[in-house]
Amino acid sequence: MSGEQKHPYHLVEPSPWPVLGSLGAFVLVTGGVLYMHEHDYGIATMGAGLALVLATMFFWWRDVIREAEYQGHHTPIVQIGMRYGMMLFISSEVMFFVAFFWAFFDRALFPAGGVWPPEGIITFDPFDLPLINTLILLLSGCTVTWAHHAIVEGNRRDFMVGLGLTIVLGALFTACQALEYSHAPFGFSDGIYPSIFYMATGFHGFHVIIGTLFLAVCFWRGMSGHFTPRQHFGFEAAAWYWHFVDVVWLFLFVAVYIWGR
């Protein structure tokens, strides 16, 4: 009895995944910089960094799932702390995109030579693929909300259908953005407009891929019967993240694609 826990908090065990994840992110970003500067080892470095990040995601999520489902550590008070943590994480992501918008508006409102977009830059038609992508993400926001309401009401069938549709729509958005990039009339290093455009939309696309993987893990967990109407924070966090991705895209669509022309 002397070893019995007398508080509702979860004191986590030492874990290697934060260090490994930080290392993977550093290698991935380094590879991205090398690739953008057309270095020979850019792709290989990015691949190594991505492998480390994916490995960290897999093993860290595995440990969190064990803590929640099999060890019973995620008490209501622990879930409150996790909600605060997710809110702070999304807030940090918001500031990440604020930096890109700041750079874009700084150049757009005070352009060199008085012209924006710069001369020689042919911009995308916002009411072509960008509009289709906007509709796809808006629809995915509806399906993930449907899934959320379904799990709260204990309707597992609708939860799985809504979540599955959201994953398909996320993959479709990524495919459409890749198609858009393949038809781009400018390259990354063709000036300030292309650089900001690719950094802002590209990092958003990266977040869509991460969010899709996040939801795919939740889909697997749903098939395994992990979520209940009273305990489903893993999916709730994924839904918050997905709504954040939706909102950022709306700002990008209006500011970069429409107003930025």
pLDDT of residue 249: 96
d(CA 55, CA 67): 18
Closest by Cα among 241, 254, 256 to 141: 241
Instruction: For the chain, give every domain's residue range.
Output: 8-73, 75-259
Rounded percentage of the chain residues whose pLDDT exceeds 70: 98
Largest CA distance in the chain: 77
Tokens of 212: 């899709």
Q: Give me the helix-helix angle, 129-152 and 156-182, nearest 10°.
A: 160
CB 132 within 8 A of CB 176: yes
- For 234-247, the three-class secondary structure string (H helix, E strand, C coil) is HHHHHHHHHHHHHH
- What pTM did the predictor assign? 0.85
CATH T-level assignment (fold) for domain 8-73: Helix Hairpins (1.10.287)
**Residue 206: its pLDDT value, please?**
92
CA dist 181 and 43 (Å) reads: 18
Distance CA 69, CA 9 (A): 16
Nearest CA to 177 among 242, 253, 114? 253
154-204 per-position pLDDT tens digit: 999 999 999 999 999 999 999 999 999 998 888 887 788 889 899 999 999
Give the Cα separation of 167 and 151 in Å (integer): 16
For 222-250, how does the pLDDT look when each residue is reduced to its tens digit (9 = 90+)? 998 888 888 888 899 999 999 999 999 99
C-alpha span between 34 and 39 (Å, rounded): 5
* Selection from 36, 68, 33 nearest residue 49 by Cα: 33
Which DSSP category does 14 fall into?
A: P
On whether the 75-259 domain is CATH 1.10.760.10, my answer is no
